[in-house]
Amino acid sequence: MSSLTYFEAQKWASSFVSKHKIDKSTVDMLLLGMKDWNLTDLLLNYRVQMPVAEFERFKSMVEKVCQGWPPQYLLGEASFLGRKFKVTEDTLIPRQETAELVEWVLMDFKDEQRSLNVADIGTGTGIIGISLKLENPHWNVTLTDISSAALSVADANARRYKLNTKNVCSDLFLALDERFDVIVSNPPYIAAAEKSLMDKSVITYEPHVALFAAEEGLHVYRRMAAEIEPYLKAEAVLYLEIGFQQGQAVKQIFQDAFPNADVFLRSDITGHDRMIKVVFHNS
């Protein structure tokens, strides 16, 4: 056994990360995540000694966080809408604005009884499609990603929650052969010029293929607008996450491509434009 209790290990780690100007909440995230505990569990075990091997693992993770590693990658999982999902360096770490996008879809279809066909394009960890399926088990959900490594993470997350999803390795819609009632996507949308504004750990550790897009970050939206029509059912709805400065540009892309569609722009909880909804109408 080590000479440190869980309380002493937490205290050491909090002091260590504070010297590197890292929030002490990260220490609790690592310790609780490593043990699969909640705060009550930690309090109940404060005076229990940590096994040596466990402390060494915890110490290594704390040191890596101070070097810039995202704690979610060290733990191998992240929380999203109250659930845990596997994450790897092949997938983005879930963020609050994506949760708000999912909540928008759920609110719009909260009274829907039909078995909708839903596609999560560029699924990464699968959090969007899986979260929608968990709340609406009768929906038929397809998860797609251009990265087979990311798609394997999404598949693992679907199996974790015992869900039957259709998983397709695809560059946007190219490998799909059906139409959908709802399409949701958090595509790459960061312009190369914005790299200097980003957190260093994001640039260093998160997959660039899921972050950056050409044409000032608008390339994927333009491709979607050009390619989506054959995959739409009648009165289909598209939901997109966007960069906080892209609202009007993305809205214009879809208004130009689909003059009969209704295009809505929505802000996130901080007041930034972060979501687009396109309601397609038969011409």
Annotated binding site: 122-126, 145, 186-189
Q: Is the dihedral of CA 263, 267, 268, 269 positive or negative?
A: negative
107, 275 in Cβ contact below 8 A? no
User: Is-contact 22 71, C-beta < 8 A?
Assistant: no
Q: Which pair of structure tokens corresponds to residue 183?
A: 């399409």
C-alpha to C-alpha distance for 122 and 172, rounded to whole angstroms: 7
Contacts of 40 (CB under 8 A, 6+ apart): none
**Per the structure block, which two tokens stand in for 19?**
């010297």
Binding-site positions for substrate = 186-189
Helix, strand, or coil (residue 121): strand
Q: Contact 109/118 with Cβ under 8 angstroms?
A: no
CA distance 208 to 173: 20
Binding-site residue numbers for S-adenosyl-L-methionine are 122-126, 145, 186
Tokens of 221: 């939206």
Residue 44: both structure tokens together:
């109940």
